[in-house]
Structure 1
Amino acid sequence: MTAPTAPSDSKSFFHLHLVSDSTGETLNAVAKAAVAQFEMVHPVEHIYALVRGPRQLDRVLRQIESSPGIVMFTMVNDKLRRELETRCRELQIPCIAVLDPVMQVLGAYLGTERTEKPGSQHTLDAEYFSRIEALNYTMAHDDGQNLDTLEEADIVLVGVSRTSKTPTCMYLANRGIKAANYPLVPEVPVPPQIEALESPLVVGLVASPERLMQIRRQRLLSLKEDSQTDYVDLDLIRSEVTAARRLYARHGWPIIDVSRRSIEETAAAILNLHTERLAPSD
């Protein structure tokens, strides 16, 4: 059956209804990843979380009826699912159960039935508390803090200013990785605690001097500060990057260029390095 299409004059903006019986994080991530593949379209998102009963679903259906568009959902209750799908068919709008293909393959391969437990991935298990511990550690070791306990880190990021050290560390912490970072500052010696690290994976972050200058200028403008400082001098930034690369090379630390990488891409590359480091050697 071919999915109905939106009128041609409404394709740049469309209503996207995201219905979940849990927090909606998984569904939101899938929706954003899918929509990002289409240029010149802008979803008007309607997000409904913790939809676990008829009263909540009725509210959702009224909203869908008043603003028809694509419906994506993650719900395990069969009765609620059927009601949502039936109403969408009546309205002649697409209704997509985003996890069904994955669940079907897993069920067939494992030879077992799924459990009808909403939000089971968010249970308070050991992995959850490990992420909380990692977040606490990462926040306490941001921007060169608490150098004496850096050996407890899984990963330490080193880099000059504006190489996305802090947001990358926070992303890694959300994956259960204890991540710390240290900022390289011109004319300031690297402390011995950094030079002597053995247990953590130390990764050097760099970016092109031109890209750094652009980001630093934007940062100064956002702070309403004078943009004519050494902080944005291109020649001095080149010297910073060169000195950073020499430091990384001296210690044999892997280098990642973040010039055109998103935080997610940088974190993925770091996680790959971490996995390779932990893998047993032949």
Structure 2
Amino acid sequence: MKNKEIVYLVSDSVGETAELMVKAVAAQFNGGEVDIKHFSYVQEKEEIQHIVELAKLRNSMIAYTLVVPSLKNFLDEKSQEEGIIAVDLMHPLMEAFSKKFQSGPKSEPGLMRRLDENYFRRVEAIEFAVKYDDGQDPRGLKHADMVLIGVSRTSKTPLSMYLAHKRFKVANIPLVPEVAPPKELFTIPKNKVVGLIITPTKLNEIRIERLKNLGLTTQANYANLERILDELDYAEKIMKRIGCPVINVSNKAIEETADIILAMFKQRGEATL
């Protein structure tokens, strides 16, 4: 079996850009069968010297994203001396930008990651929503930007994830008559909490459809109208006790409900859109 061609990726940051570009190009050749070797956060010429030696030993090529001129020039020089193909993945676009904006680049490694704070906030919020979904750990409520409460099938989870993509940390708590809400729910500021309600008939329809999708009988107590009325009555009492705003989600899309919540928080100066 033929060995895969090796490509050495060299970057003075993480190297994500180089990897994506190499994989995209490699897909056009032999189905992308290349072995990628990463060298991230390269900051010394000695490291570059070592990488060039390895590439020569393995008869490999180098693809790099080095924005520090001295490191880039050193890699170009050593690669040329050893007869190794070294491709600067950023230089052509960097030159085009320089001409367009009539200024030179900052030449600072990892600048994109430092600037893209919104990306990391979004990832953190999504991880938070997953971790504190469906009342998994009530200790997280005090760290949430928003807490959604309601009976089962009032769109708490999809709404939490949608708001997480807007960079808000959202936890949600199901309200069930047989299970007392966590004590933490009554200790956090009430303006963090949003109650979600729904009409009994709409909830009955949703739950029946849910049972059908699961291959279960639609006569289960879960979809029983009397049971639903009890749950909604219990949830309403909890919401009144907290004193939180309440939204009827009966005929609303996730995006519509999210817009209402964000408008409420923005009005109080607690949401930055």
Amino acid at match of 1:278: G
Whether 2:258 is the aligned partner of 1:256: answer no
Whether 2:207 is the aligned partner of 1:216: answer yes
User: What secondary structure sits across from 1:186 in the alignment?
Assistant: coil
Kindly report which structure 2 residues correspond to 1:188-207, keeping only aligned pairs within 5 A, or say none. 188-198=179-189, 201-207=192-198
User: What secondary structure sits across from 2:185 in the alignment?
Assistant: helix
| Post-superposition offset of 1:186 | 2.4
CA distance in structure 1 between the partners assigned to 2:126 and 2:191 by the alignment = 16
User: What secondary structure sits across from 1:168 in the alignment?
Assistant: helix
Aligned with residue 145 of structure 2, among 154, 159, 164? 154
CA distance in structure 1 between the partners assigned to 2:178 and 2:195 by the alignment = 18
Q: Verify the 8 A CA contact 1:151 1:200 in the aligned structure 2.
A: no
Whether 2:165 is the aligned partner of 1:170: answer no
| Post-superposition offset of 1:219 | 0.3
User: What secondary structure sits across from 1:218 in the alignment?
Assistant: helix
Whether 2:175 is the aligned partner of 1:184: answer yes
CA distance in structure 2 between the partners assigned to 1:128 and 1:194 by the alignment = 29
User: What secondary structure sits across from 2:268 in the alignment?
Assistant: helix
| Post-superposition offset of 1:266 | 0.6
CA distance in structure 2 between the partners assigned to 1:243 and 1:143 by the alignment = 17
Q: Verify the 8 A CA contact 2:190 2:244 in the aligned structure 1.
A: no
CA distance in structure 2 between the partners assigned to 1:141 and 1:201 by the alignment = 15
User: What secondary structure sits across from 1:278 in the alignment?
Assistant: coil
Amino acid at match of 2:165: N
| Post-superposition offset of 1:232 | 0.8
Amino acid at match of 1:262: A
1:48-81: CA deviation from partner (whole Å, max 9, x where unpaired): xxxxxxxxxxxxxxxxxxxxxxxxxxxxxxxxxx
Q: Verify the 8 A CA contact 1:207 1:257 in the aligned structure 2.
A: yes
CA distance in structure 1 between the partners assigned to 2:190 and 2:243 by the alignment = 14
Return 5+ residue gaps in structure 2 as ranges: 1-100, 102-111
| TM-score, scaled relative to structure 1 | 0.54
Q: Verify the 8 A CA contact 1:153 1:200 in the aligned structure 2.
A: no
Whether 2:117 is the aligned partner of 1:126: answer yes
CA distance in structure 2 between the partners assigned to 1:199 and 1:234 by the alignment = 30
Q: Verify the 8 A CA contact 1:154 1:199 in the aligned structure 2.
A: no
Aligned with residue 246 of structure 1, among 228, 237, 241? 237
The structure-2 alpha-carbon separation of the partners of 1:268 and 1:216, relative to structure 1 and needing over 3 Å to count, comes to same
CA distance in structure 2 between the partners assigned to 1:150 and 1:144 by the alignment = 9
Match of 1:142 in 2: 133
**RMSD value over aligned CA atoms?**
2.4
Amino acid at match of 1:188: V
Q: Verify the 8 A CA contact 1:151 1:197 in the aligned structure 2.
A: yes
1:85-118: CA deviation from partner (whole Å, max 9, x where unpaired): xxxxxxxxxxxxxxxxxxxxxxxxxxxx9xxxxx
Aligned length: 162
Whether 2:267 is the aligned partner of 1:276: answer yes
| TM-score, scaled relative to structure 2 | 0.56
Q: Verify the 8 A CA contact 1:161 1:183 in the aligned structure 2.
A: yes
User: What secondary structure sits across from 2:157 in the alignment?
Assistant: helix
